[in-house]
Amino acid sequence: MLVLTNLSRIRPATSSLSIVGQRTPRSSTNHFSEAIFHAYFDCGFRGVSTESLLAVLERGIDVHPTNEVIFVADLDKALEYGDWPKVLLALRWSSLKSTYKELSPDAPEAQIEIARSEFPTSITQEDGSTWCTRLKEDDRRIASGYEIAYAKWIPGDPWAAIRAVFVLGGPNDLASLERLLSSQGY
């Protein structure tokens, strides 16, 4: 495992970039989930492919624009995503916002318009309430349990949201990623 911490040091505007790398001995990886849970209790996690690593290091998150919808969960759920090897992002819950706002059936039109400025897609639900969301109109996850549980966005600086980046893979995977990072000046 390669752990990238102190991410404020890798912002593109920084002139001397260095990454703190840490290899975890194979014997200690059995306690990975427990150790991460305790160290990053204030975070949700996002699993992405290793192809996203450079984007994360350039922008602080893997999506562009950086306020696009992302899916964030607990550690076990996040580990299901991103293929293998994978990149695991630890994101501060306090910097994430839900992608939706539900308004009551009697909400004034002015309140709905204000909500739409932040959540541009809106649907009227069976009970007459209005569900405003950042998901695209054709997204089947709108107003679903999946959106409620996992869909988030970063309304501010993604560098304030990201607490750590974990690169998970075998020794050959990590060596290859370290060479890629080195070739890009990291």
Asked if residues 132 and 122 have their Cβ atoms less than 8 Å apart, the reply is yes
**Residue 163 CB contacts under 8 Å (≥ 6 apart), including other chains:** 7, 40, 42, 43, 90, 91, 92
Residue 169 CA from chain centroid, whole number: 19
Q: What is the pLDDT along the chain (186 residues), one digit of tens a residue?
A: 555 555 554 444 332 223 334 444 444 444 777 888 888 999 999 999 988 999 999 999 999 999 999 999 999 899 888 778 889 999 999 999 999 999 999 999 999 999 999 999 999 999 999 999 999 999 999 999 999 999 999 999 999 999 999 888 887 887 888 888 888 887
Question: How far is Cα 171 from Cα 118, in angstroms, rounded to an integer?
Answer: 44
Among the listed residues 8, 46, 12, the one whose alpha carbon sits nearest the alpha carbon of residue 168: 46
**Domain locations in the chain as residue ranges:** 2-96+156-183, 98-149
pTM of the model: 0.81
